[in-house]
Structure 1
Amino acid sequence: MLTDLPLDQLLTYRSAQTRPDDFVEFWDKTLLAARGYDIDVTADLVSTGLTTIDTYDVSFAGYDGERIRAWLRVPAGAREPLPTVVEYIGYGGGRGHVLENLTWASAGFAHLHMDTRGQGSKWSVGHTPDSAASGPQIPGFVTRGIEDPSTYYYRRLFTDAVRAVDAARALPQVDVDRIAVYGRSQGGALTLAVAGLRDDVRAAAAMVPFLSDFPRSTRITDAHPYREVADYLATHRENVAQAHRTLSYFDAVNMVATANAPALISVALMDAICPPSSVYAAINAYAGPHEVLTWDYNGHEGGGPVDQERTLKFVREQLG
């Protein structure tokens, strides 16, 4: 069944989210501090037994110079710089096993698959810790450090995501003029954030993106992960205003207000995890050209393999 507004209302829906006056300053300072550390990319060839794909175990300096892991996969024997996809991961997942996620390299792209700090134990393995301390939180990541934007978990993760593009640009297998960013759910949120924080990615593909329109999402769905915020505020009653202020610095609605890369965004009208109005809030705020894939009868799986098929076509068109 439909979980939210009908499509005709979604097409014109605008979030009540507001952009903090110091939003640009906050992110400029955050990324300037991160770039004070050399990107310091390492890439070690891994023996996988595959004959068509070469895989490298990559690490680079992310937020606060902390080491972030990734896989780099390229067509076997590739010698020339390739069009490249930097991929971000859904909630609870990590970069996965070395033999997973072979589509992009199989299609002829270089593929940098960034690990997610502190996650990677729910449905795919991760290898990157999150060392930062935080105050009281609901189990999960959405309320970790929510008391202040400077301590919020997603400040670190969004910065890692931006730095992953810097890491890709430092790799000899990557054509620095043909980089796209891609992800599903939480990975879609990171994709939109990077599209808003950088002006040098050629395309952005965000499937059923998370972390959007917090004022509405945290109130209309009982599903996790948005439920983590509701559970936190049910006990921290006095922190409602401050928590929403923190979230406003990371809301996709605010991130995409300056995005200029062509984007492909998918949304599912029966999605209880990322309500369709939250996704359309980001779509309708996106400043650059964008295409939308709307799935009438799907939940958080969105278009599934059809999303992947359409994304492959879109990225190939944008990167050449």
Structure 2
Amino acid sequence: MLKNIRTREQMIFYEEQIKEFENYKPELTKAMDFDQFWEETLKESTETPLQIEMKKIDYPISQIQAYSLVYKGFAGTPINAFYILPENQTDRLPCIITFHGYGGNKGSISNYMKWIIQGYAVLAVDCRGHGESAEDTHYSVGATGTWATQGILDKYEYYYRKIYMDCKRAVDVVFAREEIDKSRICLLGASLGGGISLAVAALDNRPTLVVADVPNMCNIELAVQQKFEGSLVSIENFMHRYPEKSKQVFETLSYFDNLNLAPKIKSKTRVSVAFRDLICPPQSIYGVYSHIVAEKSMIAYPFSGHDAPGIISHIDETIAYVKENL
């Protein structure tokens, strides 16, 4: 009986917390030149040809066509990806562009079979400095052993400027493929990949659908206060080492904060949060979600942490959501 009482009390607490988070709408922190900065960055990104190169992979699953694909990212940096298709496609295919988590990579081709067998194409990207994609060592500031602080004192040099543009150019790659149905493009990722998916959707309105699980780079000033693990710890450590640079750090971060990018999103968007997430705090994600004006939905996991996207029921729900909306 006591256990049941505690369970009810816990659920009442989380229901109240959800209501509190749903009513949380922080002020934007965007600088006066925010829009101009991104217009300049997008224009600069288009100056480099994609130079797509594809090499067929002899993969043991015979029902697919798998390719190693390389394209030029921002400022010509080579970005590696898997491009995977069903074996005998005749009609144009919907496509899912996936982005992995911080410190991860695109993984095994087999990870994407749940999409391929349904008739989707997949472009699985290795983000800059991760997996097979080239490392970028051209930074004047931020050598703290993490990408999150590289170039952090200069918005034009900052790592996230480059990675957002690299991944925006993944959309360009898909749009260059004749076999893809350009009206059915999904951006999908968790953590770093979720944050990238939101940012790319804000900077490129062509994708139809966005699935952003426990996304990072959300309401960063709050997230730095509330996190306990992850890349934001490195940013806090940088400011601990150089306290006189804190204002400059937050100013740079404001250009890459999904809080300020969210109002630009036009794609239908689903976001997930986990209340015990020590890396991407739930309130910070709700803060970004509140500023998305496109059609949207939220999944909340009160008893889960940053690994919530790996819950079996969540994976199944995501498959169903994408099937229904793409």
Q: Aligning the two structures, in what range does the TM-score lie when normalised by the shorter sequence?
A: over 0.9
- Considering fraction of residues, name the structure with more helix: 2
Shift of 1:258: 1.3
* Higher radius of gyration, 1 or 2: 2
Instruction: Point out which structure has higher relative CO (alpha carbons under 8 A, 6+ apart).
Output: 1
Shift of 1:17: 4.3
Q: Secondary structure at the match of 2:185?
A: strand
Residue number among 87, 91, 97 corresponding to 1:76 in the alignment: 87
- TM-score, normalised relative to structure 2: 0.91
Gaps of 5+ in 1: 121-125
1:9 aligns with 2:20: yes
The equivalent residue for 2:36 is 25
The equivalent residue for 2:176 is 170
The separation in 2 between residues aligned to 1:180 and 1:32, in whole angstroms, is 23
Q: Secondary structure at the match of 1:189?
A: helix
The equivalent residue for 1:155 is 161
Alignment of 1:1-320 (within 5 A): 6-120=17-131, 126-303=132-309, 304-319=311-326
* Percentage of pairs with the same residue: 27
Q: Is the 8 A contact 1:145 1:153 kept in 2?
A: yes
The separation in 1 between residues aligned to 2:316 and 2:37, in whole angstroms, is 37
Q: Secondary structure at the match of 1:279?
A: helix
Shift of 1:21: 1.3
Greater shift in the superposed pair: 151-160 or 249-258: 249-258
The separation in 1 between residues aligned to 2:59 and 2:41, in whole angstroms, is 37
Q: Is the 8 A contact 1:203 1:261 kept in 2?
A: yes
Please tell me the residue identity of whatever aligns with 2:211: A
Please tell me the residue identity of whatever aligns with 2:261: M
Closer, same or farther: CA 81–92 of 1 in aligned 2, 3 Å: same
Greater shift in the superposed pair: 132-141 or 204-213: 132-141
The separation in 1 between residues aligned to 2:246 and 2:143, in whole angstroms, is 14
Please tell me the residue identity of whatever aligns with 1:275: P
Q: Secondary structure at the match of 1:151?
A: coil
What is the CA deviation profile of residues 184-236 of structure 1, one whole-angstrom value per residue up to 9, with x for unaligned ones?
Answer: 00000000001111111111110010111111111122212211111110011
What is the CA deviation profile of residues 103-158 of structure 1, one whole-angstrom value per residue up to 9, with x for unaligned ones?
Answer: 221222000001111123xxxxx343224333133221111110111010000000
Q: Secondary structure at the match of 1:285?
A: coil
Closer, same or farther: CA 164–156 of 1 in aligned 2, 3 Å: same
The separation in 2 between residues aligned to 1:73 and 1:194, in whole angstroms, is 21
Greater shift in the superposed pair: 172-181 or 266-275: 172-181
Q: Secondary structure at the match of 1:228?
A: helix
The separation in 1 between residues aligned to 2:194 and 2:169, in whole angstroms, is 16
Q: Secondary structure at the match of 1:150?
A: coil
Shift of 1:287: 1.8
The separation in 1 between residues aligned to 2:219 and 2:43, in whole angstroms, is 27
Shift of 1:29: 0.9
Runs of 4+ in 1 over 3 A off after TM superposition: 97-101
Q: Is the 8 A contact 2:56 2:67 kept in 1?
A: yes
Please tell me the residue identity of whatever aligns with 1:38: P
The separation in 2 between residues aligned to 1:54 and 1:26, in whole angstroms, is 39
Please tell me the residue identity of whatever aligns with 2:168: V
Q: Is the 8 A contact 2:105 2:130 kept in 1?
A: yes
Matched positions, count = 313
